Amino acid sequence: MKKIVIFGSTGSIGSSLINIIKKDKKNFKIELISANKNYKKLIKQANFFNIENLIISDRNSYFKAKKSLKNDKIKIYNNFNSFKKIFKDKKIDYTMSAITGFHGLRPTLNIIKFTKVLAIANKESIICGWNLIKNNLKKYKTEFIPVDSEHFSLHSLIYGAKNFNIKEAIITASGGPFNKLNLNKFKSISPTAALKHPNWSMGKKISVDSATMMNKVFEIIEAKKIFELKYSQLKILVHSQSYIHAIIQFTNGLTKILIHDTSMTIPIFNSLYPNFEKNIKSKKLDIGILNKLDIHPVNIKRFPVVDLIKVLPSNDSLFETVLVSANDTLVDLFLCNKINYTDISKQLLRISKLNEFIKFKQKKPNNLDEIIKLANYVSVKIRSLSI
């Protein structure tokens, strides 16, 4: 039986993985699952799979879970400091890190020692702490698999090739809900409208990032780090159907394209079964879409945040943490109706030019505490700025 861990098992990624495992329950033993507040769903998952270890990071939810729990075999922890006690000296087979936000940084880094395979669906871990993660992956000989659909697609296409064999690596963007909206109407875009993605069902934060295309800026940063590419080798193309996820043009004249249904279940499934051990039901090849592919360059007037790629440092730096935290804060302000939709991109571009933040381009992340401290500082600073 494969022994696995799921961080964020009650979220969309974690729940998708749980549903996959349900169909193959006899071949898996889930050693640990975690949630922030949704303790009821977590306990339900634990009872179904006979999981003995739970982590509930929200303190109030932790105490509520302890009070309501009737299964004496289940141990509940309030933090991620018990890995050594839970796993002892034996490595588990697979860990899914799907905790959203900066809260996913520490458990992602610390679990590497205890797992053979680490699948990451937490962008903050890769964008802000990749050099720390990479060192641990090498130290503990842990395999890494990116789960985000674009990066999993790149991973699949690049497998076996060297970074110097790649002429161009392309990820696609749907363009979100405002791909064809008149630019004069952008100032009046409401949070409700920004959350209506035409192709994907996502959380509020990532839906807004998709609308502004900041999610693609982050994905470019991730791709650069994961695959050790230069920003000049990476490109975004708008593809409204979300059928093509990645394109690689190699130096030998070959170009590879990867397509799959608009479902995160496919990359999650393939991260769990990387060697075709199992089959998954999927739609037939859509020839109709293939005959009417709508692919074009990014319109910077419509998606101005893409210009941030031009100011990104080539080295691993704390500047990436500045951008992630600033964007998180601005999106939150927008969702709370405190700023306009266009203010998100306007302020991100402004922040990227401030000397107070530019100096972090020369500073490499040394530890997690440094990253989290800076993220908190940036968030407070952005809220205090006159916008």
pTM over 0.75: yes
Which domains, and CATH codes, for the chain?
Answer: 2-147 (3.40.50.720), 149-261+284-308 (no CATH), 313-387 (1.10.1740)
Structure token pair of residue 362: 């020369």
Of 146, 137, 119, the closest CA to residue 218 belongs to: 146
Identify the helix (H) or strand (E) that includes residue 97. strand 94-97
If you search the block for the tokens 């401030």, which residue do you land on? Answer: 354
- C-alpha to C-alpha distance for 176 and 196, rounded to whole angstroms: 8
Tell me the residue type at 135: N
pLDDT value of residue 387: 59
Burial of residue 253 (CB within 10 Å: 0-12, 13-18, 19+) is: exposed
Q: How many CB atoms lie within 10 A of CB 374?
A: 21
CB 7 within 8 A of CB 14: yes
- C-alpha to C-alpha distance for 224 and 233, rounded to whole angstroms: 9
- C-alpha to C-alpha distance for 19 and 22, rounded to whole angstroms: 5
Of 77, 116, 112, 119, the closest CA to residue 98 belongs to: 119
Ranges of the chain whose pLDDT falls below 50: none
Q: How many CB atoms lie within 10 A of CB 301?
A: 8
pLDDT value of residue 28: 96
pLDDT value of residue 172: 96
Identify the helix (H) or strand (E) that includes residue 210. helix 204-212
pLDDT value of residue 19: 96
pLDDT value of residue 386: 57
If you search the block for the tokens 């360059």, which residue do you land on? Answer: 297
If you search the block for the tokens 């064999």, which residue do you land on? Answer: 165
Burial of residue 267 (CB within 10 Å: 0-12, 13-18, 19+) is: buried
B/e letters for 347-364, b = 16+ CB within 10 Å, e = fewer, are: bbeebbeeeebeebbebe
pLDDT value of residue 296: 94
pLDDT value of residue 88: 81
- C-alpha to C-alpha distance for 285 and 289, rounded to whole angstroms: 9
Q: Name 151's Cβ contacts closer than 8 Å, sequence gap at least 6.
A: 219, 222, 223, 226
Of 241, 233, 275, 276, the closest CA to residue 259 belongs to: 241
CB 4 within 8 A of CB 31: yes
- C-alpha to C-alpha distance for 187 and 306, rounded to whole angstroms: 18
CB 122 within 8 A of CB 106: no
- C-alpha to C-alpha distance for 199 and 176, rounded to whole angstroms: 8
User: Whats the size of the chain, residue-wise?
Assistant: 387
